[in-house]
Amino acid sequence: MKGIDIEELSGALDVLANELNAFLRHDPLPRSVSDACAKILERLGHPPDVVCRQFSVGSHSYWVLFFAGSTDDALISQGILYPLLAHADDTLNPTTVPIGQVRSVTTLTDAVQQLLAHQALVADQTSGRWWAFDVGQPPTRSVSEPSNAKVVHGPHDGFVEQWVINLALLRQYLQTPYLRVETLTVGFWTQTTVAVIYLEGLAEGKVVSQVHAKLSQTSLRGLVDSSRIAMALGGPWVIPTVQYSERPDQVAAALIQGRVAIMMDKSPSVLLVPTRFTDLMSRPGDYYQLPLTGSLTRFLRYIGTIAATTLPAVYVAALTVNPSFIPLSLYLTTVRTRLAIPFPVVIETVMMLVVVDIVQEAGLIMPGALGQTVTIFGTLILGDAAIKSGIVSAPTLITVTLAMLTQFLIPDANLMSVTRLIRYALLPLAAVFGFTGIVSGWMLLLGLGVGLESYGTPYFSPLAPLRPGGWRDTVVRMPRQKRKRAPFIGRGAL
pLDDT at res. 374: 75
Does 186 map to a domain?
yes
Residue ranges of alpha helices (H) inside 217-290 are 226-234, 248-256, 277-280
CB 269 within 8 A of CB 245: yes
Helix (H) or strand (E) holding 144: none
Does 31 map to a domain?
yes
CA distance 257 to 274: 10
Higher pLDDT pick, 260 / 103: 260
Answer left, alpha or beta for residue 251, where phi above 0 means left and psi between -120 and 50 means alpha: alpha
Residues 239 and 337 in one domain: no
Boundary (domain end) residue, out of 116, 133, 150: 133
CA distance 67 to 70: 6
Residues 302 and 270 in one domain: no
Residues 318 and 229 in one domain: no
Residues 169 and 92 in one domain: no
Instruction: Answer whether residue 93 shows pLDDT above 70.
Output: no
Residues 239 and 295 in one domain: no
pLDDT at res. 491: 44
pLDDT at res. 487: 46
Residues 265 and 294 in one domain: no
Mean pLDDT over each residue of the chain, to the nearest integer: 82
Does 430 map to a domain?
yes
State pTM to two decimals.
0.81
pLDDT at res. 494: 36
CB 163 within 8 A of CB 195: yes
Please, what is the Cα angle at 458 between 456 and 459, to 5 degrees?
120
Does 4 map to a domain?
no
What's the average model confidence in pLDDT over 177-198? 89
Residues 320 and 298 in one domain: yes
Residues 447 and 310 in one domain: yes
CA distance 278 to 466: 13
Choose the weakest-confidence range: 57-66, 388-397, 414-423.
Answer: 57-66
CB 459 within 8 A of CB 450: yes
Backbone angles phi, psi at 42, to 5 degrees: -65, -40
CA distance 119 to 99: 11
Does 156 map to a domain?
no
Give the residue among 247, 252, 240 at the shortest CA–CA distance from 416: 240
CB 460 within 8 A of CB 449: yes
Residue spans of beta strands (DSSP E) within 95-153: 102-105, 120-124, 130-133
Does 453 map to a domain?
yes
Q: How many CB atoms lie within 10 A of CB 175?
A: 7
Of the spans 6-15, 191-200, 226-235, which averages the highest pLDDT?
191-200
pLDDT at res. 493: 36
Instruction: Answer whether residue 492 shows pLDDT above 50.
Output: no
Residue ranges of alpha helices (H) inside 225-344 are 226-234, 248-256, 277-280, 291-320, 328-337
CB 190 within 8 A of CB 223: yes
Residue 18: half-sphere exposure toward Cβ, Cα within 13 Å? 12
Residues 307 and 342 in one domain: yes
Q: How does pLDDT run across 267-290, given as a tens digit for each residue?
A: 899 999 999 998 998 888 888 888
Work out how many domains the chain is built from and give that number.
Answer: 3
Question: Which residues are CB-contacts of 168 (< 8 A; sequence separation ≥ 6)?
Answer: none
User: Could you give the dihedral angle defined by the CA atoms of residues 287, 175, 271 and 424, in that order, rounded to the nearest 10 degrees?
Assistant: 0
pLDDT at res. 469: 64
CA distance 307 to 313: 10
pLDDT bin (cut points 50, 70, 90) of residue 202 is: very high
Does 16 map to a domain?
no
pLDDT bin (cut points 50, 70, 90) of residue 462 is: confident
What's the average model confidence in pLDDT over 383-396? 85
Residues 222 and 325 in one domain: no
Backbone angles phi, psi at 127, to 5 degrees: -90, -20
Residue 81: half-sphere exposure toward Cβ, Cα within 13 Å? 15
pLDDT at res. 1: 41
Choose the weakest-confidence range: 314-323, 334-343, 476-485.
Answer: 476-485
Instruction: Answer whether residue 167 shows pLDDT above 70.
Output: yes
- The percent of the chain in helix, strand and coil, each rounded to the nearest 5, is 50, 15, 35
User: Could you give the dihedral angle defined by the CA atoms of residues 398, 401, 404 and 405, in that order, rounded to the nearest 10 degrees?
Assistant: -90
Choose the weakest-confidence range: 5-14, 171-180, 434-443.
Answer: 5-14
Helix (H) or strand (E) holding 211: helix 205-216
Does 99 map to a domain?
yes
Question: How would you write 403-468 as a 3-class SS string?
Answer: HHHHHCCCCCHHHHHHHHHHHHHHHHHHHHHCHHHHHHHHHHHHHHHHCCEECCEECECCEECECC
Residues 291 and 247 in one domain: no
pLDDT at res. 95: 66
Residues 174 and 221 in one domain: yes
Domain coverage including residue 238? 163-275
Boundary (domain end) residue, out of 133, 148, 182: 133
